[in-house]
Amino acid sequence: MLIRVNVNGEWREADAWPGESLLFVLREELGLPGSKNACEQGECGSCSVWLDGELVCSCLVLAAQAHEREVRTVEGLADGDRLHPVQEAFLEAGAVQCGFCTPGLVVAVTDLLEHDPSPDELTVREALSGNLCRCTGYEKILDAVEVAARRKREGVW
């Protein structure tokens, strides 16, 4: 079935098999492999995107449900070669090891800070509870959130 989705501000069309997830369409048909495919059951958060402005696991969205709707992916964050401040913060804090969970975490952290630029640590941990990282032990990710949050409060983004 033909699906029309606004992805990162641009209307795109994909000919999807009706049982396909939004994640599959993004990665395999729209050339956007930033969202990662891991657990396929909403546990790991590595496929996190925004659907009509809400943070969701794209593996749990039926592609057809995104028809005529807006999707924002991790690819929509950087401005050309300039990384998004949350991506910069991840680099600076050393919050990236193997990197597989990074796109999902960057999206989840951006979502959190867009809603709440001054989250306390419990709020951060709760907001990131749907994103698993098997390398870092999370400490440096929390450091990155702090750096990105400070810049958000300073008006850098």
Residues that bind other proteins (CB under 8 A): 1, 17-19, 21, 40-43, 45, 48, 54-57, 59-62, 64-65, 67, 108, 111, 125-127, 129-131
What is the closest distance, in whole angstroms, from the C-beta atom of residue 61 to other proteins in the complex? Answer: 6
What is the closest distance, in whole angstroms, from the C-beta atom of residue 18 to other proteins in the complex? Answer: 4
DSSP of 64-132, one letter per residue?
GGGTTSEEE-GGGTSBTTBPPHHHHHHHHHT--SS-SSHHHHHHHHHHHHHH-SS--HHHHHHHTTT--
Residue 145: both structure tokens together: 């959130």
What is the closest distance, in whole angstroms, from the C-beta atom of residue 50 to other proteins in the complex? Answer: 10
Task: State which residue, 56 or 89, has the beta carbon closest to other proteins.
Answer: 56
Q: What DSSP character marks residue 15? A: E
Task: State which residue, 83 or 138, has the beta carbon closest to other proteins.
Answer: 138
Task: State which residue, 1 or 98, has the beta carbon closest to other proteins.
Answer: 1
Task: State which residue, 118 or 123, has the beta carbon closest to other proteins.
Answer: 123
Whether the CB-CB separation of 48 and 55 falls below 8 Å is answered with yes
What is the closest distance, in whole angstroms, from the C-beta atom of residue 21 to other proteins in the complex? Answer: 6
What is the closest distance, in whole angstroms, from the C-beta atom of residue 122 to other proteins in the complex? Answer: 10
Residue 142: both structure tokens together: 């929390």
Element (H, E) at 2: strand 2-7
Task: State which residue, 116 or 143, has the beta carbon closest to other proteins.
Answer: 116
Torsion of CA 69, 70, 71, 75, to 10 degrees: 140
Give me the residue label for tokens 């850098």.
156
